[in-house]
């Protein structure tokens, strides 16, 4: 198995990437392809642990940065001979030189690069950006979290197929429970898009449990939650912001007196559980579902530990043949869709 890792992804790149590549190569015995400027990476690779066994540098002298957007980003993502580490890394997938690609860089950049260079899985209309949300006693697969601000019912239907396959194949959930995020659980509730999507999911063979609200999602009652990319993005960012507000306020209050400081010190193990629950490093990376190749996107704040987790997730997807499973599921759905529409 060959896993390609963007050396220019994380906020502190390339050190966490170099370290993660070496650790993963040693831990998993896979070949790690570290994609970035060879002249920068070579000395670092030599200097870490005194060994670069299992890590191969793929030269990519340029980068897509967090500042790239709009036309400039599109050009960097699309250009045939692009030398940035996303284009070079994703081309490895296209040319069967790598089985999965991981980046902790610009999400829009990874999306655009993968979309232009790999295309979509046949029969699929839109790719879905995915996140693993911490929920009660586990995680839920949530998509789309921002690739498609405006969706049609068929897009959300396909997100459900992909999310369900991902939960099955990579997270090991037997019969993933799927929920459609709405403003109320009753059928018939929702905006027009939800009211049009709900019947498609009802008529499918998927384990659709119905419309859900935040309490079902964060209460751990579904394995997969689907929605349009605008709603998903608001859900993701607002959840992060609420968590931050609570934790910051609590921290401030705990530091406000000697007594509460002491109490906080004693209660530290409990706070560590919360920190771990909210730490993106624990999840490692989430897949960009729907493009015709295995692309995983990690958090910009990823450290080496997070990147090794990301590599672990990517390996599981490769081993589980995630891509063919999604291809098959989408093809199957295409055949059965006329019936769905008639029902």
Out of 122, 246, 328, 332, which residue is the one contacting a copy of itself (CB under 8 A)? 246
331 makes contact with a copy of itself (CB under 8 A)? no
Out of 175, 244, 336, 343, which residue is the one contacting a copy of itself (CB under 8 A)? 244
Instruction: Please state the closest distance from residue 120 (CB atom) to a copy of itself, in A.
Output: 21
242 makes contact with a copy of itself (CB under 8 A)? yes
Between 9 and 190, name the residue whose CB sits nearer to a copy of itself: 190
Euclidean distance between CA atoms 208 and 180, whole angstroms: 8
Binding mask 266-295 for a copy of itself (x = CB under 8 A): xxxxxx-xx--x------------------
Number of residues that bind a copy of itself (CB under 8 A): 63
Instruction: Please state the closest distance from residue 267 (CB atom) to a copy of itself, in A.
Output: 3
Euclidean distance between CA atoms 106 and 97, whole angstroms: 23
* 40: enclosing H helix or E strand: helix 38-47
Quote the strand ranges of the chain, DSSP E. Answer: 2-6, 31-36, 55-59, 100-103, 128-135, 138-143, 178-181, 208-212, 224-226, 285-289, 295-298
156 makes contact with a copy of itself (CB under 8 A)? no
Restricted to residues 52-91, the positions that interact with a copy of itself (CB under 8 A) are 69
122 makes contact with a copy of itself (CB under 8 A)? no
233 makes contact with a copy of itself (CB under 8 A)? yes
Between 3 and 141, name the residue whose CB sits nearer to a copy of itself: 141
Beta pairing, strands 224-226 & 100-103: unpaired
Query: Distances in Å between the alpha carbon of 287 and those of 10, 49, 83, 343?
Result: 16, 30, 23, 32
Out of 12, 219, 320, 325, which residue is the one contacting a copy of itself (CB under 8 A)? 219
Between 90 and 194, name the residue whose CB sits nearer to a copy of itself: 194
Which part of the chain contacts a copy of itself (CB under 8 A), choosing from 6-14, 155-163, 222-230, 331-339?
222-230
Which part of the chain contacts a copy of itself (CB under 8 A), choosing from 91-99, 238-246, 301-309, 325-333?
238-246
99 makes contact with a copy of itself (CB under 8 A)? no
Helices vs. strands in the chain: H and E counts, helices first:
14, 11
238 makes contact with a copy of itself (CB under 8 A)? yes
Q: Give CB contacts under 8 A, 24+ apart, made by 235-244.
A: 235/142, 235/145, 235/181, 236/131, 236/133, 236/142, 236/145, 236/146, 239/133, 243/278
54 CB-near residues (< 8 Å, 6+ apart): 22, 25, 26, 29, 30, 31, 32
Residue 31 carries which DSSP code?
E
Between 49 and 257, name the residue whose CB sits nearer to a copy of itself: 257
Out of 183, 321, 324, 343, which residue is the one contacting a copy of itself (CB under 8 A)? 183
256 makes contact with a copy of itself (CB under 8 A)? yes
215 makes contact with a copy of itself (CB under 8 A)? yes
Query: Distances in Å between the alpha carbon of 222 and those of 13, 67, 87, 218?
Result: 35, 36, 35, 9
Instruction: Please state the closest distance from residue 238 (CB atom) to a copy of itself, in A.
Output: 3
As to burial, measured by CB atoms within 10 angstroms (0-12 exposed, 13-18 middle, 19+ buried), residue 72 is: exposed
83 CB-near residues (< 8 Å, 6+ apart): 60, 61, 62
243 makes contact with a copy of itself (CB under 8 A)? yes
120 touches 198 (CB < 8 A): no
Binding interface with a copy of itself (CB under 8 A) = 69, 134-136, 146, 149-150, 181-184, 186, 189-192, 194, 213-215, 217-219, 228-231, 233-235, 237-250, 253-254, 256-257, 259-260, 262-271, 273-274, 277
């Amino acid at each position: 198995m060959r896993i390609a890792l963007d050396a220019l992804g994380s906020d502190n790149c390339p050190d966490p990437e170099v370290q993660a590549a070496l650790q993963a190569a040693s831990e998993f015995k896979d070949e790690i392809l570290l994609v970035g400027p060879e002249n920068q990476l070579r000395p670092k690779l030599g200097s870490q642990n005194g060994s670069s066994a299992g890590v191969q540098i793929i030269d990519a002298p340029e980068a897509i940065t967090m500042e790239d957007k709009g036309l400039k980003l599109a050009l960097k993502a699309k250009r045939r001979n692009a030398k940035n580490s996303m284009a070079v890394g994703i081309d490895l997938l296209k040319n069967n030189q790598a089985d999965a690609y991981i980046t902790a860089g610009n999400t829009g950049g990874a999306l655009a690069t993968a979309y232009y260079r790999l295309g979509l899985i046949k029969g699929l209309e839109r790719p879905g950006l995915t996140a693993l949300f911490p929920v009660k006693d586990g995680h839920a697969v949530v998509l789309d979290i921002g690739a498609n601000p405006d969706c049609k019912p068929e897009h959300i239907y396909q997100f459900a197929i992909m999310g369900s396959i991902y939960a099955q194949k990579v997270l090991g959930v037997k019969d993933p429970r799927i929920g459609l995020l709405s403003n109320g659980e009753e059928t018939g509730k929702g905006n027009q898009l939800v009211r049009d999507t709900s019947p498609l999911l009802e008529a499918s063979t998927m384990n659709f449990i119905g419309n859900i609200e935040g309490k079902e999602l964060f209460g751990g009652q579904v394995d997969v939650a689907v929605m349009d990319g605008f709603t998903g993005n608001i859900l993701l960012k607002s959840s992060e912001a609420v968590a931050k507000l609570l934790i910051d306020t609590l921290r401030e209050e705990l530091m406000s007196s000697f007594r509460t400081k002491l109490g906080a010190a004693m209660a530290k193990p409990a706070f560590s559980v919360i920190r771990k629950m909210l730490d993106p490093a624990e999840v490692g990376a989430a897949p960009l579902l729907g493009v015709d190749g295995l692309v995983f996107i990690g958090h910009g704040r990823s450290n080496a530990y997070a990147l090794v987790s990301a590599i672990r997730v990517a390996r599981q997807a490769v081993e589980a043949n995630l891509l063919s499973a999604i291809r098959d599921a989408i093809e199957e759905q295409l055949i059965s869709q006329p019936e769905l529409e008639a029902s």
